């Protein structure tokens, strides 16, 4: 399906091509970024090695070329109501206390500011440096509500096909590694290619009534 040609849709298409494998996530994140004024400043908590937008301050606990500010997400070094937009993608699962971290994100939001929060559900263990949590739809709502934010939207954006793909890849690689331990990495790469067509079902399955059963991950959008 081709998105209609408009400033918003063109922005989202470029954003999807540059940053995302998930079109649904690209539409939501591209949308909130497009709503940030050209001279506005937002915050990206847990940026890793990716710079999303020049208007964002990119924060992480370890230094990479993308990082503007090194800090702990549980204690953000910013004043209250500092930002109209806070973004955090697949970071809270790595934090010992994701509830405290989301409260910190809410603290630095301005009144009527927006939090874009993305987290996985069906995905294998991936330490960075540690891996603690997974979140259902209800879990994502709770993260926002306990921080005092109004829930605007919660939806799966990485579909069951990707969730199944991740499990199949790890299962196949782990099975082969039991026989040939040194073959784990190469087996994982080959399995990822072999099972890749399963991911093509994501768009279709995300609209199903059972989409919440085994999605790859969710986005929750909250407003202060």
pLDDT tens track for 63-75: 999 999 999 999 9
- pLDDT of amino acid 111: 97
Please give the residue range of the domain that contains residue 147.
39-158+216-223
pLDDT tens track for 146-194: 999 999 999 999 999 999 999 999 999 999 999 999 999 999 999 999 9
- Asked whether the predicted pLDDT for residue 18 surpasses 50, the reply is no
198 part of a folded domain: yes
> Domain containing 43 — which CATH number?
3.40.50.150
- Asked whether the predicted pLDDT for residue 6 surpasses 70, the reply is no
- pLDDT of amino acid 2: 40
- pLDDT of amino acid 37: 87
- Coil, strand or helix: which one is 22? coil
Share of the chain above pLDDT 90, in %: 80
pLDDT tens track for 20-33: 568 889 899 999 99
Residues 151 and 190 in one domain: no
pLDDT tens track for 80-126: 999 999 999 999 999 999 999 999 999 999 999 999 999 999 998 99
Residues 43 and 141 in one domain: yes
- pLDDT of amino acid 12: 53
CA angle 33-162-102, nearest 5°? 45
DSSP class of residue 130 equals: -
34 part of a folded domain: no
The residues near 189 (Cβ < 8 Å, ≥ 6 apart) are none
Report which of 21, 19, 24 is spatially closest to residue 156, judged by C-alpha positions.
24
- Asked whether the predicted pLDDT for residue 3 surpasses 50, the reply is no
Report which of 199, 164, 169, 197 is spatially closest to residue 184, judged by C-alpha positions.
169
pLDDT tens track for 22-62: 888 989 999 999 999 888 899 999 999 989 999 999 999 99
Please count the structural domains in the chain. Answer: 2
Report which of 48, 20, 50, 15 is spatially closest to residue 32, judged by C-alpha positions.
15
- pLDDT of amino acid 128: 84
- pLDDT of amino acid 21: 63
- pLDDT of amino acid 1: 36
Residues 85 and 181 in one domain: no
Dihedral angle computed from the Cα positions of residues 214, 215, 216 and 219, in that order, rounded to the nearest 10 degrees: -140
Cα(104)–Cα(70) distance, integer angstroms: 15
Residues 115 and 190 in one domain: no
127 part of a folded domain: yes
- The phi and psi torsions of 165 (rounded to 5 degrees) equal -55, -45
- pLDDT of amino acid 7: 53
- pLDDT of amino acid 190: 97
How high is the mean pLDDT of the chain? 90
Which residues are paired to 119 by β-bridges?
218
Dihedral angle computed from the Cα positions of residues 37, 41, 43 and 44, in that order, rounded to the nearest 10 degrees: 60
Residues 63 and 107 in one domain: yes
122 part of a folded domain: yes
Tell me what the mean pLDDT of segment 136-145 comes to.
Answer: 98
What are the start-end ranges of the E strands in the chain? 42-45, 56-60, 69-70, 83-89, 109-120, 150-158, 217-223
190-224 CB burial, b ≥16 within 10 A, e <16: ebbeebeebbebbeebbeeeebbebbbbbbbbbbb
């Amino acid at each position: 399906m081709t998105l209609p040609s408009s400033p918003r849709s063109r922005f989202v298409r470029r954003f999807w091509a540059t940053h995302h494998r998930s079109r649904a996530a690209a539409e939501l994140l591209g949308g909130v970024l497009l709503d940030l004024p050209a001279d506005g400043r937002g915050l990206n908590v847990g940026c890793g090695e990716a710079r999303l937008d020049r208007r964002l301050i990119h924060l992480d606990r370890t230094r990479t070329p993308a990082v503007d500010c090194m800090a702990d997400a549980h204690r953000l070094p910013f004043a209250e109501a500092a930002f109209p937009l806070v973004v955090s993608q697949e970071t809270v699962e790595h934090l010992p206390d994701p509830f405290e971290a989301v409260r910190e994100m809410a603290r630095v939001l301005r009144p009527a500011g927006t939090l874009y929060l993305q987290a996985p559900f069906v995905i294998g263990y991936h330490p960075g440096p540690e891996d603690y949590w997974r979140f259902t739809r209800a879990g994502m709502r709770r993260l926002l509500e306990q921080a005092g934010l109004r829930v605007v939207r919660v939806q799966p954006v990485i579909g069951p096909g990707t969730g199944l793909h991740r499990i199949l890849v790890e299962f196949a690689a782990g099975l082969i590694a039991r026989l040939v331990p040194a073959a784990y990495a190469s087996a994982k790469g080959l399995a990822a290619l072999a099972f890749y067509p399963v991911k093509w079902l994501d768009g279709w399955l995300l609209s199903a009534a059972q989409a919440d059963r085994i999605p790859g991950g969710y986005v929750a959008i909250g407003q202060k």
